[in-house]
Structure 1
């Protein structure tokens, strides 16, 4: 049984009221030290075993937009979804109640569940084009989710800085009124045109009468960044001599549920969960399915 309790020392690591207000205004937050060095090392070892082929279980079906790097793909940026489901060693870290409690404070929610987890590896190849992640925000391809309080924890497995191509936020962009989007927005950034995404950022900044202020996240080992589901973010090349390894842990508040989001051709927006999770009594995909969307925190 998952215990949703914190020690006194852990409670001291939660965002303060001022930090919660900062997140609401800026759309991002740098955490205190949520993981000990030993916990990060244990997570990194589980990641190594995952890349070596170890799986606690396999997805029952392969969703159509699954990101799933294999060695045959070569030295490109690696993305592997559902690592919290396929690896118990990785899940042990990602389901740490303190992590969920931090997210709950920021989202002002009583419950936080996993929405998705993606293991990321940027090879130390400065000119590798796949290492550059164009500007985007996550809610675009979560259009079938009802909540606007969803957020993402970016969890490096080491100190992470600009040389390694750290995640970079566009300050305050979660509060912009959005213009210029189309059906392609419901696809993952890797399926969209990078130049179009760059242009969309500029168009939206201009529409909102503001500048694009980019804030690179300098994240010490054991710390992590959080960003709102409508915060524009991206990352640059890895110019370091070692890989940049991280997990992008997408989180949903307890009120989030599947909703129908019609596209211009009459079809509905689709998320990979729609292929794997159980159904609600009225036949909708259940984004509270504990097998694929386990709780991380309940107040």
Structure 2
């Protein structure tokens, strides 16, 4: 296995074997997804579970200074639906400490071929063990659609389950190679989050784009052992199915940005600016734009000098 790592990196020697090899980086570029080695210890994963339970019970290390208009934020009164809580890396210091383990950023940097990786967003997810719960179904989509205010086309996401996670639990599923497709049918609606769009429309969009690219839709469920995680490219179609197991599916969706990413104005056909939740929270750059390098909300996860 060949691994190229700068000796200026902060990784301990024993972690170097956890990085993706050159061949695996090439496979990520080809397939749009990657399954890691074991990056978290069992104790670290168990602490994620415990910290998430404390969060659901009301514990906060700090709270957001304001509530963005499109914030996903489950509350107990919302009931037994699929839970999504954005900015978990901001509001829970215990979760943030584990997520910011250097090896996670180093793996992301290898895959994105970037010298620096910053946090972009993180969402705590709880998919209840209710086979027929409609909110458990996540339709086919790719993340770049609702990151139109970003300049980077190399952003990526780590899906981090808190346990062994397979098909029965409704694991994340990738459409292999879809990040390399030429897209057709994009319009104002594609800048909206998948939760605001019709599931059937999203399914048809996947089929139309596959047909346009003369591609076979190969759906690959990520079977992820405890302590491992998957990564996917920001243009990789993905979704997830029902949780038909007897236990909740607990995870974090950890969105990451290369160091070169920054805000850009992106307008819809009516002239309205696309707005991401960060835009009302982060500090401003010298020229007045939202600063996607604000260390309070988008801290550096990895920097390879």
Same fold? TM cut 0.5: yes
Counterpart of 1:289 in structure 2 is: 294
- 1:90-129 correspondence runs (5 A): 90-129=95-134
Correspondent of 1:222 among 219, 227, 232: 227
Correspondent of 2:195 among 190, 195, 199: 190
Within 2, Cα distance between the matches of 1:123 and 1:247? 14
Correspondent of 1:241 among 243, 246, 262: 246
Within 1, Cα distance between the matches of 2:170 and 2:183? 27
Counterpart of 1:252 in structure 2 is: 257
Counterpart of 1:135 in structure 2 is: 140
Question: 1:291 Cα deviation (Å)?
Answer: 0.1
Which TM-score applies when normalising by structure 1? 0.98
Counterpart of 1:15 in structure 2 is: 20
- 1:149-168 correspondence runs (5 A): 149-168=154-173
Question: 1:42 Cα deviation (Å)?
Answer: 1.2
Correspondent of 1:44 among 22, 34, 49: 49
- 1:76-95 correspondence runs (5 A): 76-95=81-100
Answer yes or no: is the 8 Å Cα contact 1:173–1:231 preserved in 2: yes
CA deviations over 1:44-86 (Å, ceiling 9, x no partner):
1111111111000000000000000001100100000000000
Which TM-score applies when normalising by structure 2? 0.96
Answer yes or no: is the 8 Å Cα contact 1:166–1:236 preserved in 2: yes
- 1:19-38 correspondence runs (5 A): 19-38=24-43
Answer yes or no: is the 8 Å Cα contact 1:4–1:97 preserved in 2: no
Within 1, Cα distance between the matches of 2:190 and 2:207? 16
Q: Secondary structure at the match of 2:23?
A: helix
Within 1, Cα distance between the matches of 2:229 and 2:94? 19
1:65 equivalent to 2:100? Answer no
Within 1, Cα distance between the matches of 2:83 and 2:215? 34
Within 1, Cα distance between the matches of 2:156 and 2:175? 15
Within 1, Cα distance between the matches of 2:84 and 2:191? 18
Within 2, Cα distance between the matches of 1:40 and 1:82? 19
1:267 equivalent to 2:292? Answer no
Counterpart of 1:210 in structure 2 is: 215
Answer yes or no: is the 8 Å Cα contact 1:258–1:284 preserved in 2: yes
Answer yes or no: is the 8 Å Cα contact 1:111–1:298 preserved in 2: yes
| Number of aligned residue pairs | 297
- 1:168-183 correspondence runs (5 A): 168-183=173-188
Question: 1:4 Cα deviation (Å)?
Answer: 6.3
Counterpart of 2:237 in structure 1 is: 232
Within 1, Cα distance between the matches of 2:56 and 2:14? 34
Question: 1:92 Cα deviation (Å)?
Answer: 0.6
Question: 1:138 Cα deviation (Å)?
Answer: 0.1
Q: Secondary structure at the match of 1:184?
A: helix
Q: Secondary structure at the match of 2:266?
A: coil
5+ unaligned residues in a row in structure 2: which ranges? 1-7
Q: Secondary structure at the match of 1:56?
A: coil
